[in-house]
Amino acid sequence: MFENVAIVGVTGAVGRIMLGLLEERNFQAKNFKFLASARSAGTKLNFRGAEHTIEELTAEAFQGCDLVISSTPDDVAADLLPAAVEAGAKVIDESGYWRMKPEVALVVPEINPQAALDAKGIIASPNCSTTQMVVAMKPLYDASRIRRVIVSTYQAVSGAGKQGNVDLDAGTKAALAGESFEYSAFSHPIAFNAIPQIGSVKEDGYTSEELKMVYETRKIFGDEEIQVNPTCVRIPVANCHSETITVETERPIAPEEARELFAAFPGIEVIDDTPNGEYPMPNICSDRNEVFIGRIRRDISNPNGLSFWCVSDNLRKGAATNAIQIAELLVQNIGS
């Protein structure tokens, strides 16, 4: 058990889910400390039936902590989390800043738990779109190494933060009323639209969100030869990212075998009955911690190809749940 645990960013969407998961999963620690920006410091929150005061996030606030679970913007993570490591804490970070640092473990517990156990200091949690994809890939990869992945994402507005949901709600109301609306989170209207760019433009016309899926996937699997071709699209859905995924494996994996592999893998739930209209959709997968898979079928263009549909709550398994699972993994192996 950890003695003193700090939860950073408790007033954000991911931070609030973290608090709920710590309660639901009965995460054991002697003391909890709740940190947020100066704007939120001094406000109260309820945790496990008791009222707690949120403290300001500063370097000094980490003194005495042996575990820090953090969800902040990249610049805050870069500036302050090294102080937590210097204070002697293990740090689980949700930001994008540390993920591709060579000395930092990038962890999805179902895939590379040993990386978390071997880590010194900061453990990074991957980008939400990467996380659900690699969980879906893992049982197939173990059965026959994956050579190539083609993925298109259909990402919810919650992935752009609270303002993303505001833009969707207010923008939709304005569009239906025939009124104009000034979007804040998106560069184009999201209501009744699809925006085929998430993040800034990088090399070869790919975006920063797309390249995260390339490089994070290789790091998590420890396989630099996996080829990933991603296209990331923002759609007018409140929560849950959806992905169409086609993998090419070293040997053919039939849809029947794939269903068995998916169903047996922890953290995956299969909903796959297309003739009866049963498959994962955001409106039935929201507020769930699993990765959902359906529309499993062979790739008719490649004898070693398999295609499927994947949906997951980007705020849960894509962020908060993965971080708490890493913390649970560390607790299970304390002293081992």
CATH of the domain at 61: 3.40.50.720
For the segment 190-208, the average pLDDT, to the nearest whole number, is 97
Question: Is the same domain home to 142 and 290?
Answer: yes
- Residue 66, both tokens: 């042996």
Question: Is the same domain home to 110 and 235?
Answer: no
- According to DSSP, the β-strands at 105-106 and 227-234 are unpaired
Q: How confident is the model at residue 14 (pLDDT cuts 50, 70, 90)?
A: very high
Question: Is the same domain home to 157 and 63?
Answer: no
277-311 pLDDT, tens digit per residue, is 999 999 999 999 999 999 999 999 999 999 999 99
pLDDT at 336 over 80: no
User: Which backbone phi and psi does 70 adopt, to 5 degrees?
Assistant: -125, 135
Question: Is the same domain home to 121 and 140?
Answer: no
Question: Is the same domain home to 107 and 156?
Answer: no
CA dihedral 74, 77, 78, 80 (to 10 degrees): 150
44-77 pLDDT, tens digit per residue, is 999 999 999 999 999 999 999 999 999 999 999 9
Question: Is the same domain home to 70 and 153?
Answer: no
* Catalytic machinery residues: 128, 241
136-171 pLDDT, tens digit per residue, is 999 999 999 999 999 999 999 999 999 999 999 999
Q: Which residue has the tokens 């086609």?
A: 246
Question: Is the same domain home to 303 and 220?
Answer: yes
Question: Is the same domain home to 201 and 253?
Answer: yes
User: What is the side-by-side order of every strand in the sheet holding 2-8?
Assistant: 55-56, 29-36, 2-8, 67-70, 90-93, 122-124, 105-106
Query: Domain count of the chain?
Result: 2
Q: What is the mean pLDDT of the chain?
A: 97
Question: Is the same domain home to 69 and 148?
Answer: no
Q: What pLDDT, on the 0 to 100 scale, is given for residue 335? A: 54
Q: What pLDDT, on the 0 to 100 scale, is given for residue 334? A: 77
Domain region containing 142: 130-314
Q: Which residue has the tokens 């945790």?
A: 47
The domain spanning residue 214 has which CATH number?
Answer: 3.30.360.10
**What is the pTM for the complete model shown?**
0.96
Q: What pLDDT, on the 0 to 100 scale, is given for residue 1? A: 83
For the segment 83-105, the average pLDDT, to the nearest whole number, is 97
For the segment 175-203, the average pLDDT, to the nearest whole number, is 97
Question: Is the same domain home to 70 and 207?
Answer: no
